[in-house]
Amino acid sequence: MPGSADRRMAEDRSPAGMIVASGVHRSFGALTAVSDVSFRLPAGRIVGLVGSDGAGKTTLLRMLATMLVPSSGTIRVGGLDVVRERSGVKGMIGYMPQRFGLYQDLTVAENLDFFMDIYGITGAERRRRRERYLGFSNLLAFTDRRAGDLSGGMKQKLGLACVLVHEPRVLILDEPTNGVDPVSRQEFWQILAEMKQSGMTILVSTAYLDEGERCDRLLLMHNARILADAAPAEVRAEFASLEEAMIQRIRAVDAALTEDAFGR
C-alpha cells in the first residue's frame, strides 16, 4: 500500500491537479468579484491566497468550498465538479470561513463533539481525533471552557480543530489568523505544516506576508483577477520584500488601468 508521500507524488504528476479552476467568473449584479480566474494546484502543498481588500479572495474560496456557484467557468476539486458533484466535493474538503461560527455557549469539547456528530465519528476514533486535534491546538487544558470565553487566537485554533476532525483531503481557510498574536499564528502554521506532511492540500488566504513566505506557492489577487501564481521567491523577485513586490505589482496594474481609462 503506497504511503502518503507516494500518493502525493502520484497526484502531483496527474494532469488534473487537486484543485483546478478554469475561466472562473462571479458577479454580484453589476459588480465583478472574480474575473477569468484559472489555476491548477497540486496535492500536498500549502498555497497562499494574498491580495488587496475586496480583491475577491473570499468569493473565490467560497466557490471552491461549494458555498457559492460560479457565474461561469468550472472548478474541480479532487476531479469532481463543485456544482454538479457538490456533495462529493463537500465530503472531501474542510472549509473555515472568514467568520467561523463556533457555538459561544458550548464548551471547547462540546463544539468539537458537535462537528464529530455531524460527520458520524464515534467510539475509539472519536477519542483519538479529540486528543489529536485538541492536542495540536493546545486546547486540551481548556476542554470545559466556554468557546465565548476563549481568546481570539484560541477561538481560531478551535475553529481549525473543528474543521480538521473529519480529516479532509483539502483544507480551505479564509484569513484564519486574522487578529491573532504572533505566537498563536506560529502554532497555527505548525499545525498546517503537519497536515501538509500527511498529504493534505491547503489553500489559505492571509493578510500576513510572513505567512505568505511559508507557502509553497502564492496566488496574488487584485481587482477580481490573479496577478501572480508562483513560489514566494519568484513573486518577491527583485524586490526587497514580498510586501514591496505585491504593492509594486498592484500599482503597476492600477496605473495601466488608469492610463486605459484616460486613453493615454
Ligand X SMILES: Nc1ncnc2c1ncn2[C@@H]1O[C@H](COP(=O)(O)OP(=O)(O)OP(=O)(O)O)[C@@H](O)[C@H]1O
Site mask for ligand X (CB under 6 A), range 21-40, x = bound = -------x--x-x-------
Nearer to Mg ion, 32 or 98 (CB): 98
Q: Which of 58, 66, 201, 206 binds Mg ion (CB under 5 A)?
A: 58
- Amino acid identity for residue 89 in this structure: V
Residue 222 interacts with ligand X (CB under 6 A)? no
Nearer to ligand X, 54 or 148 (CB): 54
Q: Which of 12, 14, 23, 54 binds ligand X (CB under 6 A)?
A: 54
Cell of 260: 486605459
DSSP states along 210-242: HHHHTSSEEEEEETTEEEEEE-HHHHHTTSSSH
Site mask for ligand X (CB under 6 A), range 62-101, x = bound = ------------------------------------x---
Q: What is the DSSP letter of 113?
A: H
CA 211 to centroid of chain Cα atoms: 12
Q: Give CA–CA dist 234/172, Å, rounded.
A: 23
In sign, the C-alpha dihedral spanning 113, 114, 116, 120 is positive
Nearer to ligand X, 57 or 157 (CB): 57
- Which 86-125 residues touch Mg ion, going by CB under 5 A? 98
DSSP states along 22-62: EEEEEEETTEEEEEEEEEEE-TT-EEEEEE-TTSSHHHHHH
Residue 56 interacts with ligand X (CB under 6 A)? yes
Size of the site for ligand X (CB under 6 A): 12
Q: Taking a C-beta distance cutoff of 8 angstroms, is the pair 52, 251 a contact?
A: no
From 8-16, 57-65, 69-77, 187-195, give the range in contact with ligand X by CB under 6 A.
57-65
Residue 238 interacts with ligand X (CB under 6 A)? no
Q: Which residues of the shown chain bind Mg ion in the complex (CB under 5 A)? A: 57-58, 98
- The contact set with ligand X (CB under 6 A) reads 28, 31, 33, 51, 53-59, 98
